[in-house]
């Protein structure tokens, strides 16, 4: 049920951007720190990528972001006892932003945001996933470097609950991201 709601929100996002005042896309690098009470995951950090698309009026924005690329070694799984493996972590986040300066008035525009995200850890060798939903809080700044081009720096905190492929759980998880991106505003 939750996946259907999330899919509906993504479709609403895509269709709404056709009529938005400003549409932008961007991407860059992300420093990711993952923490989970799942005994096979625990705490990991590393670099990854961050891709996003969004729409913006003068002071409000709506954005869909995908983060991934964090790979790490896992421990033995509980319940079904798969041996140690490696896994990939990813986030699909749908959020709202509040910009404190209209983009037409100033080159620097700080913002804050909230979102709702899907978090997933996928084992590389075995059929085993840990995934779930949670909220995110974000803050950052956009700096205009040329007409229609911006550099974005920001931090995002995620809190989520998850369960595994065989419905063991729930497990508590959190993640933080430090992003450095470049974006183009159409």
pTM higher than the cut 0.75: yes
Query: What are the pLDDT digits (tens) for 106-158?
Result: 789 999 999 999 999 999 999 999 999 999 999 999 999 999 999 999 999 99
Question: For residue 51, what pLDDT is reported?
Answer: 98
Query: In sequence order, what are the residues at sequence separation of 6 or more whose Cβ sits closer than 8 angstroms to the Cβ of residue 159?
Result: 134, 135, 136, 173, 174
* DSSP secondary structure letter of residue 141: E
Residues 159-179: what's their mean pLDDT?
94
* DSSP secondary structure letter of residue 40: T
> CA 111 → CA 55, 91, 94, 105, 137, distances in Å?
14, 21, 16, 15, 11
* DSSP secondary structure letter of residue 6: H
Domain boundaries, the chain: 2-185
Residues 19-28: what's their mean pLDDT?
82
Residue-by-residue DSSP string for 68-109: EEEEEEE-PPTTT---SEEEEEEEEEEEEEEESS-TTT-SEE
* DSSP secondary structure letter of residue 19: T
Question: For residue 102, what pLDDT is reported?
Answer: 74
Please state which CATH number belongs to domain 2-185. Answer: 2.40.160.20
Give the integer Cα–Cα distance in Å for 176 and 82.
Answer: 28
**Residue 30 pLDDT class (50, 70, 90 cuts):** very high
**Residue 48 pLDDT class (50, 70, 90 cuts):** very high
C-alpha closest to that of 69 among 54, 48, 98: 48
- Over its C-alpha atoms, the chain yields an Rg (Å, rounded) of 18
């Amino acid at each position: 049920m939750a996946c259907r709601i999330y899919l509906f929100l993504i479709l609403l996002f895509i269709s709404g951007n056709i009529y938005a005042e400003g549409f932008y896309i961007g991407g860059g690098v992300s420093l990711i720190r993952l923490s989970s009470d799942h005994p096979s995951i625990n705490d990991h950090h590393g670099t990854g990528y961050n891709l996003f698309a969004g729409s913006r009026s003068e002071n409000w924005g709506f954005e869909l972001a995908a983060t991934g690329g964090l790979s790490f070694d896992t421990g033995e799984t509980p319940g079904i006892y798969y041996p140690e493996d490696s896994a990939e972590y990813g986030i699909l986040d749908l959020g709202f932003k509040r910009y404190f300066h209209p983009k037409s008035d100033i080159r620097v525009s700080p913002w804050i945001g909230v979102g709702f995200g899907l978090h997933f850890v996928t084992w590389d060798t075995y059929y085993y996933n840990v995934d779930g939903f949670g909220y995110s809080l974000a803050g950052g700044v956009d700096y205009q470097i040329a007409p229609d081009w911006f550099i974005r720096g920001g931090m995002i905190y995620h809190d989520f609950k998850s369960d595994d492929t065989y419905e063991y759980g729930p497990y508590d998880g959190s993640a933080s991201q430090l992003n450095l991106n470049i974006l183009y505003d159409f």
